Structures are given as structure tokens and as C-alpha cells.
Amino acid sequence: MYNTNFIPKTYPQPGVYQIVQYKHEDRVYHNLVFKYDKFDTPKKVYGDIMTNVTKIWNAYALEAKTTGCIMVGNSGSGKSLMGYILSNIAIINQLPVVICTEIDFTTETIQFLSVLSDCVIFLDEFKKNIGWSVEDKMLTMLADPKNTRKLFIITENDATRISSFIINRPERARYYFEFDKISPAVFKDYCKDFNIAPAFYQELEDKYTIATVFSFDHLQAIVNEHLHYPNETLDSIIGILNVPVLRKPLYIKVKEVIREDDNKKLEFSVDEDSLTLIEYKTQSYRYIYLQVWETSKSKADKEEPLFKLDLKFNMLSQAGASTSFVYEYRQDDKKYKIILKAE
């Protein structure tokens, strides 16, 4: 059960508000605009989302201080859904929710949020909206016992983009959840609800078992496509859906290195050992160690290269890429274009 043993301070009617920003005579002003009564959420929620939401809410309701939760994982993994459900529980308990997106987050924004009465502050896609300089100014708002009681919800795709002064600091954000691969229980429960044919289910389960990343969004898309086209194979379904991370592993190759000022193609070499795919939690990275020379002769004579470069690519962002893409590099007032291709 959700604990409701507290009385929030006077505030506009419960619901979802959007923070808006406007300028007048070189000053930045903020206000709240009512958006809707609550977030839309599905009737059935899979996994342990409801258990975790209950714990977060009870911690806020039982303790007379600001608290927060961080949810990290790939898009479509359920982070925002968990935030929506938690927000709706707050609204039921007469607390407004302030969503902070699509604005230029400034010091004035932090000051505005700090003086709000008790509320939920929903920072979806955290680093997309908040820069490092402003993030540091949030620290006192997250933990100041003199502040009004707020419940912070922070979602982010990559945990490394959140300040170390927030991560591993439970006095500033009490809970931390990682959304990577859905659990076997969620996988089986969802497929059972839609009566997936045994043969297709077995094939899909095999794919799920070996996949590094397999989100609820992926599962929904594959199951929906299968229900529409039951005679299609799993490979043909994955081959056209926007789930390239579930296809064959990708290799990123250096095609050309061009100096921009004279458009000259330069010689290069790639350490073959660097092409290993390195997986870290929910992320997969490809590392390329590149050396570049002026000419093939200077390369053959083992002269000192013009430059050495360690390249790192997030394979989720490059997955499925079939066309060339460019990495730009500057050194000594020279600009170089490194043409790469994922295949």
C-alpha cells in the first residue's frame, strides 16, 4: 500500500505541469503551465516496476525530507513509464508534478524550482536538458533539509553523463535503478499474454537469451509484427524492424582519412586488435586505434605519424548504419575528416 501520512503545502490543483521560460528586458522568467490531469499508462505493468514505485513513494511519504530516484537505461526500456506511474501516485495524493523539458536550463531555472512548494520534479532525459554548470547548482536543492519537500525523478540513457556528486550519493537521490535487458519473467509473461506460437516463441527466446540488449520496446514491436504476419520468420521481422541492435554484430572500418585544407587522402593503419567489441553493462563499444601518415613511403619507412587517435563508438548509436559517417579531428590548426563505415 502507498503511505499517505503527510499533508503537502498549498499548491495549485494536482496534475502535470510544464515549466516554461521567457525573456523580458534581458531577464529570464519562469512559470508553470497546466498540461493534463495525469500521465497515460498501460492497464498491465510487467516486472517489478510497481514494487519499486511503492518503495520510492513510501520513502517520500514517511520521511520529512526531499528524496529522489535515478533511472538509467536505453530508450524504450521502461524508465519513463516508471516515472509516469510514480507521478500518477503523487497526483492521487494531491501532489503536482512539474516536468522539466524543452527549455534552456539556467541558474534562474534552479532558483525557480527551489522555491516551489512540495511537488514532484520530473527530469526526463536528464543530460539532454541540463548542462554540467547548471547540474552542480542543483546539488543543494537535492539535499538541503531547509528546502521544501520534493520528490525528484531523474531518467538518463547513460549513467556516466550524470555528475558523480549525484550518483552514489543517496542523500541526494536515494534510489538508483538500471534498465537494461528485461527479465526472463517479463519476457515469458508478455509472450504468454499474447499466445505466441511455440515454435516462434522458442526462436525468440533463443534470440533474447544471447542478446546483450533486449528492451520491452523491442519485445512489443516483435510480438506485434508477429501477430500481424504469423508466417514471417523471426529473422525477416528483425530485418525490417527498427531493432538493428538485435541483428548481426557490426564492425566499424576506417575507409579514408582526408586533410580538409588540401583535400589530400592520407595513409593510415588500424590496430586489428582494437576491433574487439567491448561490452559494459547495457552499452557496447567499438574501439579503434588509428595512426595517420602523410604518404605511403613515410608509413613504410616507419616515420613518426602525423597523429595517433583512439576512437570509441557506442554501438547502439551506430547499429544498423549502412552508410559512411564522418569523425572530425583537429590538430595544429589542421582539420581532418575520418570516413568510417559500419558493416
pLDDT computed for residue 280 by the predictor: 44
Contact 148, 6 (CB under 8 A): no
pLDDT computed for residue 3 by the predictor: 39
Query: What are the distances in angstroms from CA 111 to CA 35, 70, 85, 114, 255?
Result: 22, 21, 27, 5, 50
- Cβ contacts of 206 within 8 Å, gap of 6 or more: none
pLDDT computed for residue 321 by the predictor: 46
Range 296-302 average pLDDT: 85
pLDDT at 145 over 70: no
pLDDT at 247 over 80: no
pLDDT band, very low/low/confident/very high, at 102 (cuts 50, 70, 90): confident
Among the listed residues 204, 215, 260, 268, the one whose alpha carbon sits nearest the alpha carbon of residue 47: 215
pLDDT computed for residue 315 by the predictor: 55
Range 115-122 average pLDDT: 88
pLDDT computed for residue 190 by the predictor: 94
pLDDT computed for residue 189 by the predictor: 95
pTM for the model stands at 0.68
pLDDT computed for residue 120 by the predictor: 93
- Select the more confidently predicted residue: 320 or 84: 84
pLDDT computed for residue 144 by the predictor: 62
pLDDT at 4 over 50: no
What span, in angstroms and rounded, lies between the C-alpha atoms of 165 and 201? 44
Q: Do β-strands 97-99 and 267-270 pair in parallel, antiparallel, or remain unpaired?
A: unpaired
Is the torsion defined by CA of 80, 82, 84, 87 positive or negative? negative
What grid cell was written down for 302?
Answer: 616507419
What grid cell was written down for 93?
Answer: 495524493
Q: Do β-strands 97-99 and 16-24 pair in parallel, antiparallel, or remain unpaired?
A: parallel
What would the pLDDT profile of 151-161 be if each residue is shown by its tens digit?
999 888 877 77
pLDDT at 319 over 70: no
pLDDT at 141 over 80: no
- Select the more confidently predicted residue: 64 or 59: 59
pLDDT at 203 over 50: yes
Sheet strand arrangement including 150-156 = 27-36, 16-24, 97-99, 119-123, 150-156, 67-73, 175-179
- Cβ contacts of 30 within 8 Å, gap of 6 or more: 19, 20, 21, 108, 109, 112
Give the burial string for 187-216 (b: 16+ CB within 10 Å, else e): beebbeeeebeeebbeebeebbeeebbbbb
